[in-house]
Structure 1
Amino acid sequence: MTEMEKGPTGVRRGRGARERILGASRQLFREQGINRTGMDQLCAAAQVSKRTAYQHFAGKDELVAEYLRTFDPSVLSDVFDRPDLAPRERLLAAFDIPPTTPLCPYIAAAVELHDPQHSASRYARDYKKAVAARLADTAREAGAADPEQLGEQLALLIDGAAARTRVLDADAFPTAAAIAAVLIDKAIPAAADDDRRPGEASS
């Protein structure tokens, strides 16, 4: 890419076309959906030419997949990589999601695309499996008898709460968190002991 480029209106722009295209996709895909957003509209919003857009992305399919990768590439590291929280606390922290958060982009993309072989659909599947795996790893660390089962149960609760929040326009995550606490306590009999902070000795 050259140091400077011309947008569709002839206005010269500096570097950052890729970031502007991804920024436009995050806005337009969430506001009006993937299928209703064309490349012409994306290019206009990003103020780049179609030629420039196709230099960065082979097509819309590749752009959609990359759009999903920008959301959470490290899979909830702000929850699962917190050293200040005990394992059980990290499991519950996964439900601490602001009610203003839009519908999960991975669910939205999978529903819209209707193609399980689409690169974005595959990425959405891989991401959801990764979330369940991180939940299971944390459940194992907390001492769950069947961490894989608890991980799947909590992942299902998170996705269900996200969809219900969007459909009803009401925060479903507090209820989901309360259900999660019951499941966690049942799966981890010594939950009270696991609530100790890392490095905190037992009495």
Structure 2
Amino acid sequence: MTKLEKGPTGQRRGRGARERILSASQQLFREQGINNTGMDQLCAVAQVSKRTAYQHFTSKDELVTEYLRRHDPDTMPEIFDSAELTPRERLLAAFEKPPSVPPAETTPLCPFIAAAVEINDTDHPARRRAHDYKASVAARFTETARQAGAVEPEQLGEQLALLLDGASVRTRALDTDALPTAAAIAAVLIDNALPAEAPG
């Protein structure tokens, strides 16, 4: 029988260590940033030893990259893959506050933007992941804009991606929800980009 390791609090730890580490990283990176979160604190919150943490992740860099990879691997599928919404409705739904955020709280800063700001090394795997994710958001907007019949879907896709990122940063900087304003602007951009309906 494999001996279970005792964590920092002396409790027996099982196979869920990796998931607890990732869960702790999600909480701490969101609340206090990547650079301000040390491995000692992360291990304490995850209730694992540093030895266990480094068995699952060879470095903090690897942990940060996996944290981003798991955050939204398919680029908002609950919105862009929804069969219940029209393409136009999907474009606007991207500007709604996620259900996971309590009504009284502002939307947290996008973790991919946070990683890009905190990590200066453009070759860092987490920085590359942030780059790829942001490119995928614009691509998803563009694809949906094309489905909606936009005259210039690439332009609309880039405009909406930029608007969404701006709302995320402004929300964080001012501690107020900028998404409703962004949604109103998005509606104007979308309506201007879609062909006018012929009068009945």
Alignment TM-score > 0.5, same fold: yes
Supply the AA of the counterpart residue of 2:183: A
Residue in 2 aligned with 1:188?
Answer: 194
Residue in 2 aligned with 1:197?
Answer: none
Q: Distance in 2 between matches of 1:74 and 1:162?
A: 19
Per the alignment, do residues 46 and 187 of structure 1 end up closer, same or farther by CA in structure 2, a change over 3 Å counting? same
Per the alignment, do residues 43 and 138 of structure 1 end up closer, same or farther by CA in structure 2, a change over 3 Å counting? same
* Equivalent residue in structure 2 for 1:147, among 139, 144, 153: 153
Per the alignment, do residues 172 and 184 of structure 1 end up closer, same or farther by CA in structure 2, a change over 3 Å counting? same
Deviations 1:36-66 (A, max 9, x none): 1111111111111111111111100000011
Residue in 2 aligned with 1:200?
Answer: none
Q: For residue 191 of structure 1, report the CA deviation from its aligned partner.
A: 6.4
Supply the AA of the counterpart residue of 1:97: K
Q: Distance in 2 between matches of 1:50 and 1:185?
A: 53
Identity of aligned residues (%): 73
Q: For residue 102 of structure 1, report the CA deviation from its aligned partner.
A: 0.7
Is this contact kept in 1: 2:106–2:175, CA < 8 A?
no
Is this contact kept in 2: 1:3–1:15, CA < 8 A?
no
2:100 is the alignment partner of 1:94: no
Q: For residue 173 of structure 1, report the CA deviation from its aligned partner.
A: 1.1
TM-score, normalising length: structure 1: 0.89
Aligned length: 193
Structure 2 gaps, min length 5: 99-104
2:130 is the alignment partner of 1:124: yes
Q: Distance in 2 between matches of 1:117 and 1:111?
A: 14
Q: What RMSD, in angstroms, separates the aligned Cα atoms of the two structures?
A: 1.9
Structure 1 gaps, min length 5: 194-202
Residue in 1 aligned with 2:111?
Answer: 105
Summarize the alignment of residues 1-203 of structure 1 with structure 2, pairs less than 5 Å apart: 2=2, 4-97=4-97, 100-190=106-196
Which runs of 4 or more aligned residues in structure 1 lie more than 6 Å from their structure 2 counterparts after TM superposition? Answer: none
Q: For residue 114 of structure 1, report the CA deviation from its aligned partner.
A: 1.4
TM-score, normalising length: structure 2: 0.90
